Structure 1
Amino acid sequence: MQTAKPALIRETFPVGPLQCNCTIIGDPVSKKAIVVDPGGNPDAIMARLDAHGLKVVSIIHTHAHLDHFLASGQMKELTGATLHLHKEDQFLWDNLEMQCSMFGVPYRPVPAPDQWLTDDQALDCGCGVALHTPGHTPGSMSFWFPEAKLLIAGDTLFRRGIGRTDLWGGDSATIERSIKQRLYTLDEEATVVTGHGPDTRLGDEMRENPFVRA
């Protein structure tokens, strides 16, 4: 009799001055992990990784607004993991100092991304795929883990909300298209990890989100 595959390790917690949701995704067998959106508090992120016995192989970003990558440089120093971003958000990554000054957040330089994320790219732990979902920013990404029925949507989709489009490169028609064509075609039972605030369920957003419905 075939034994069931152990469940993916997933922990999400708010970090940094703007309380961005950082998510750890770990393979329970290989103990390899990815960290999504380390927006601050690198020591707290490392403590959670150690508690799960996980080793970070890549640090991936839903987009390049400051609150989603403030601790990325420190995490790279601590773990040796590679940094990943969609190329269309490079202009935001390169302007971290400007973003920090606008929001009154202390500036700490981060190195350039090591690799560019692409649409439908398999993620390092072998358990998920990157989806290009522009609109909040030109390079916004979501990360889909089909076996776990888990969607990390960043600031594209929130519980009964969507990402703002009034910042650099935002576009309301594009974010609506990304949500309808890329996210609302996934499993309705999926748990959605948002960029800030509580998780939601994809089917609930498809029916009840006041901004974009399926």
Structure 2
Amino acid sequence: MQTPTLIRETFPVGPLQCNCTIIGDPVTKKAIVVDPGGDHQLILDRLDQLGLKVVSIIHTHAHLDHFLASGEMKKATGATLHLHKDDKFLWDNLEMQCKLFGVPYNPVPAPDHWLQDDEELPCGCGVAMHTPGHTPGSMSFWFPEAKLLIAGDTLFRRGIGRTDLWGGDYAQIETSIRQRLYTLDEDAVVVTGHGPDTQIGDEIRENPFIRG
């Protein structure tokens, strides 16, 4: 039986049901966790069940619902925190964001590493893509061998990320989707920031906001 190119599990976490994704290397058993938006013990338990060791905690952007378990995850695992620098102003104001939305704030240390466009991800199986618009530092993560895209809040099933929050820019998100995401393999599965998966080709043809 052929070994899968990566282990992928996505499940909603936290008060705003952000999709958290575990990406693991089936050979080395090293993993990254994308957007741990709450329920840190649930994420840790799932990593244990999968036999994976998390080495990096990676964020698509710095809105509160995508980071709420990051501090506890780092404390428990020693994994590094990753973010694009253009979202530093949001990260620096995480406590304020929580207060605005009435969500308890758990302190999170500063990111250990600033993500760059086209940077290889720690497990060596994917690449970071800077896709600004929802926030200035929004990132998507592309895993070409698995035909898998983690799009955060940039692209949803028949929707796009809102641009009326801090640093949002509609022209930027349109460019990011058209020039970066819609040029990927049409068969690729898209893991969205909230809600169900979709496919690139389906969004190109059917997304009412931005069609290819």
Length-normalised TM-score, structure 2: 0.99
Residue aligned with 1:176, SS:
helix
Separation in structure 2 between the aligned mates of residue 90 and residue 168 of structure 1, nearest angstrom: 12
1:55 aligns with 2:48: no
Aligned residues: 212
Counterpart for residue 198 of structure 1: 196
Residue 63 of structure 2, aligned match among 54, 62, 65 = 65
* 8 A Cα contact 2:157 2:192, kept in partner: yes
CA distance in 1: counterparts of 2:204 and 2:6, whole angstroms: 25
Unaligned runs of 5+ in 2: none
Aligned partner of 1:10 in structure 2 is 8
Displaced runs of 4+ in structure 1, greater than 3 A? none
Q: Secondary structure at the match of 1:57?
A: strand
Equivalent residue for 2:165? 167
- Checking the alignment, whether the CA contact within 8 Å between 2:116 and 2:128 is kept in structure 1 is yes
Superimposed CA distance per residue, residues 26-66 of structure 1 (whole angstroms, 9 cap, x where no aligned partner):
00000000000000000000011001000001000000000
Shift of 1:6: 2.8
Give the aligned partner of residue 38 of structure 1.
36
* Correspondence 1:116-135 to 2 at 5 A: 116-135=114-133
Deviation at 1:179, TM superposition (A): 0.2
Aligned-pair Cα RMSD in Å = 0.8
Q: Give structure 1 stretches of 5+ with no counterpart.
A: none
- Give the equivalent residue in structure 1 for 2:139: 141
Deviations 1:152-196 (A, max 9, x none): 000000000000000000000100000000000000000000000
Per the TM alignment, residue 5 of structure 1 is displaced from its structure 2 partner at its CA by 4.5
Equivalent residue, structure 2, for 1:104? 102
Amino acid of the residue matched to residue 129 of structure 1? V
Counterparts of 1:75-94 in structure 2 under 5 Å? 75-94=73-92
